[in-house]
Amino acid sequence: MNVYFIIAYRNILQRRMRSLVLAVAIVVVSLVFSLLLALVQGVKNTMIGNGTALMTGHLNIAGFFKLSQSSANPMVTKYEPLLEYAKTQIPEADIIVDRIKAYGKVISETDSVIIPMWGVNMDQESNVLGRLEIDKDANGKVLGDLFQLKDRGTMALFAVHAKKLKVSIGDMVTVSIPTQRNINNTKDLKIVAILKDVGMMSQFNAYMHSADAREIYQSKADSTGQVMIYLKDISTLKTVEARLRNDLSSKGYRLMDKDSAPFWMKFDRVAGESWTGQKIDITTWEDETSFLKWIISLLSALTFILTIVLSIIIAMGLINALWMSVKERTTEIGTLRAIGMQKSKVLWMFMLESLILSVSSTAVGLILAAIICQTLNAIALPIQNEAFKLFLMTNTLHFAFGLPQALITFMSLVTFFTLGSLIPARQAAKLSPIIAINQS
């Protein structure tokens, strides 16, 4: 075995207590970092999982129709050729559905809420909306059946809205929606299912029959809200999106500029523009859920701040320990220099010490993190705090610990600690060989 490695390794063993404390500290920071990364990824996964069931395809052909300059209707008129295009020209697609968009008030006897709503065709939705969980009441009774949305005059609400409106299955609500001609059309709908909340996203969705939505808007059967395309492999998203843009624009469709926002945040802007007629808006799941991006950003920021603070503290400990090691070993280093070891080798010998410590401890931290993630995912730890549920967009804690999380943790920590160890290692390399001879 390489003698530098042996010296470094044995010196670590020699200073057992100091090394152990450092190793434990590095294990902890590697564990914390990778767990947080896994949590962020878990939230991201839940977000895309829920988001793509609730309000968006991986890729959407959406848009606005403007009857007059000041109007803005979130719809795609004459959508059949577009649907046909999606079905025949996008081989990457797995599922294709279309939904009507609505935005208005849901009124009960006691209260009302303003929410974006979807007119759905349940025949298409079994693998999309059908994935959502139905809420249970206090006695464990399942609150309705989502597939009753196949019947006209029905509505499914999330628990958060049902609670606010004080309605349950079988109750009637009135949906009131402002239409193109700036009058409010209303329709009475029966609640057939209460959906279990999925954090913040539940606040922005409710569902009715697509024909009811068309009726309220008095729109024709050849118009829809958006064609939602689900890909077999989400990594093809960017290429498919680019192709879609190209194809539609060469077919003569007018495309809206890319604007990463959900449709209900685009009304004002579109209403302020002077064009009329139909424009197509091609959006991705990221655009449609971008109003929740801040949660991911905040979580990521917290992860990095916490990790950086911890890492700096530990790097200081590591630097200090190596510094002490250099002090204790001045004669030894001087001797090595005297008998012909180059400065660069001395530097390497000390870096190796920190490398061995950080590589092995980070690896242990990662193994622990993998075990902890597996265990916690298996017990599906329920989140008790309502605010956390809202914030993390899930009811049970979910960690997604994979190769990217492990690699990010490993690379960044090992690099950071190795760079830190350069400071004392350079100090060691600077020592003069004279000290080996002059000490007595």
Partner 1 sequence: MQPIILENVIKNYLLDKIQVPALKGIDLKIDAGEFTVIAGPSGSGKTTILNLIGCVDTASAGKVVVGGKETGTLSEKQLTDLRLHTIGFIFQSFNLIPVLNVIDNVEFPLLLQNTLSPKERRERVLKFVDRVGLTQYAHHRPSELSGGQRQRVAIARALVTRPQIVLADEPTANLDSVTGQNIIDLMKEINQTEKTTFLFSTHDHSIMNQARRVIRLHDGKIQANA
Residues numbered 9 to 38 that lie near partner 1 (CB under 8 A) are 10-11, 14
Least distance in angstroms from the C-beta of 12 to partner 1 = 10
In this chain, which of 3, 17, 138, 183 binds partner 1, going by CB under 8 A? 3
Counting other chains too, the contacts that 291-295 makes at CB distance below 8 Å and 24 or more residues apart are: 291/204, 291/261, 291/262, 291/265, 292/47, 292/51, 292/200, 292/201, 292/393, 295/43, 295/47, 295/200, 295/391, 295/392, 295/393
Q: Answer for the pair 59, 284: CB distance below 8 angstroms, yes or no.
A: yes
Q: Closer to partner 1 by CB, 339 or 387: give it.
A: 339
| CB nearer partner 1, residue 397 or residue 429 | 429
Q: Which of 336/400 has CB closer to partner 1?
A: 336
Q: Are strands 93-107 and 172-178 parallel, antiparallel or unpaired?
A: antiparallel
436 touches partner 1 by CB under 8 A: yes
Select the residue interacting with partner 1 from 294, 298, 343, 371 (CB under 8 A): 343
Shortest reach from residue 11's CB to partner 1, in Å: 6
Among 136, 251, 331, 427, binds partner 1 (CB under 8 A): 331
Which amino acid belongs to residue 3? Answer: V
Other Cβ atoms closer than 10 A to 134: 16
186: amino acid identity, one letter? T
Q: Does 430 bind partner 1 (CB under 8 A)?
A: no
State yes or no: residue 335 binds partner 1 (CB under 8 A). Answer: yes
Report the residue number, 182 or 440, with the smaller CB distance to partner 1. Answer: 440
In eight-state DSSP terms, residue 130 is: G
* Closest C-alpha to 37, from 269, 340, 296: 296
Q: Which stretch binds partner 1 (CB under 8 A): 2-10, 94-102, 141-149, 294-302?
A: 2-10
203 binding partner 1? (CB under 8 A): no
Q: Extract the runs of DSSP E, i.e. beta strands, from 90-212.
A: 93-107, 112-120, 154-158, 172-178, 184-195, 206-209
Residue of the chain from 332, 360, 372, 422 that contacts partner 1 (CB under 8 A): 332
* 342 lies in the binding site for partner 1 (CB under 8 A): yes
Among residues 187, 180, 430, 423, which one has the least CA distance to residue 320? Answer: 423
Residue 367 sits in the site that holds partner 1 (CB under 8 A): no
Angstrom CA distances, 178 to 65, 105, 246, 276, 321, stand at 15, 9, 34, 19, 70
Half-sphere exposure for 417 (CA within 13 Å, toward CB): 35
Residue 337 interacts with partner 1 (CB under 8 A)?
A: yes
DSSP code for 263: G
**Per CB under 8 A, which region of 1-9, 54-62, 186-194, 220-228 contacts partner 1?**
1-9
Binding segment for partner 1 (CB under 8 A), chosen from 46-54, 246-254, 285-293, 333-341, is 333-341
Is 6 one of the binding residues for partner 1 (CB under 8 A)?
A: yes
Cβ closest to partner 1, residue 161 vs residue 337: 337
Q: How many residues bind partner 1 (CB under 8 A)?
A: 27
User: Quick one: 5 or 391, whose CB is closer to partner 1?
Assistant: 5
Please, what is the minimum distance in Å from the beta carbon of residue 355 to partner 1? 17
Question: Of 117 and 436, which CB lies nearer to partner 1 in the complex structure?
Answer: 436
Closer residue to partner 1, CB minimum distance, 246 or 342: 342
Q: How many helices (H) and strands (E) does the chain have?
A: 14, 9
Q: Which residues pair with 190 in a beta bridge?
A: 154, 172
Residues that bind partner 1 (CB under 8 A): 3, 6-7, 10-11, 14, 331-332, 334-343, 345, 432-434, 436-440
